[in-house]
Amino acid sequence: MTTIGSGTPRARTGTSSSRFFAESLRDWLLAGSPRPVSLLQAGCLAPLRELGIGELEETGYDISLCVVDSDEPLTRQVLDQTQDLYDRVIVGDLRTVPLPPRGFDVVYCGQLLERVSHVELVLDRLISALRPGGLLLIRLGDRDSAWGLLNRRLPGVARRAIWHSLRPGVPGPFPPVYEQAATQRGIASYALMRGLVIAHRSAEYTLSGNSRRLSSTMRVTCAIICRLSRGRFCDSHDELLYVIRKPQDRFARVV
């Protein structure tokens, strides 16, 4: 494991148009969660702005940020660009990387699970780092979406063109792994087996790039895939969002 940039000043983070995570996090904090708040971001691509951290800090919350991701060239390139946002940066094998047990109040896992192997082992590491009563926020690309299928089948040249349209200036694209666990059924099964509670869930279509022509082409292509697959691969969304609670009592049963 390597640690980079401990204690660096963090730039102010704003909010995004999506309030799904921001409102859930705010409501959780207002319900009486202790201050300061320790937050772990799992995955360097996670859109941190959608948590509304800037608003929370302006209202008096002291939030410390740590990020963890795999030790790979692309990951390091992204972290080199963003490390000033965090109080601590950790890189290593996500299945075994040392994280403080029950060391974080919130774990935000965004745009990570669709690009890694051994999803359940990675989630186990994140859950063990989450305090009882804490929140696990997940944003992942849906394997069962039309874009999930297309992303796995497209040649590298096409994937790079789409990536740079969607994320200009961000190193990539990352490999599309999309294990079976990276689906609605996979997350539901994992939560049930680990005694976690899915408090909220949603889905979003995020494939709107800088090129109107490319965005339109992707819409049409995903619609064709959906129709040809008779809805097996849907075109209504490409990403799944979850707010999951870790019970205070580890022996609690989910009914």
Q: Is pLDDT at 91 greater than 60 in this prediction?
A: yes
**Residue 132 has what pLDDT?**
94
pLDDT band, very low/low/confident/very high, at 33 (cuts 50, 70, 90): low
Q: Is pLDDT at 4 greater than 60 in this prediction?
A: no
pLDDT band, very low/low/confident/very high, at 248 (cuts 50, 70, 90): confident
245's enclosing H/E stretch is: strand 239-245
38's enclosing H/E stretch is: strand 37-42
**Residue 13 has what pLDDT?**
40
**Residue 10 has what pLDDT?**
42
First CA to last CA across the chain, in angstroms?
Answer: 39
Query: Strand, helix or coil at 133?
Result: strand
How far apart CA 1 and CA 71 sit, in angstroms, is 8
Query: Strand, helix or coil at 157?
Result: helix
* Percent of the chain topping pLDDT 70: 89
Question: Using CB atoms within 10 A of its CB, is residue 215 exposed (0-12), middle (13-18) or buried (19+)?
Answer: middle
* Percent of the chain topping pLDDT 90: 75
**Residue 18 has what pLDDT?**
66
pTM of the model: 0.91
Q: Is pLDDT at 244 greater than 80 in this prediction?
A: yes
List pLDDT tens digits, range 156-194.
999 999 999 889 999 999 999 999 998 999 999 999 999
Domains of the chain with CATH codes: 2-141+175-206+240-245 (3.40.50.150)
pLDDT band, very low/low/confident/very high, at 215 (cuts 50, 70, 90): confident
How far apart CA 241 and CA 19 sit, in angstroms, is 11
Q: Are strands 2-4 and 88-91 parallel, antiparallel or unpaired?
A: antiparallel
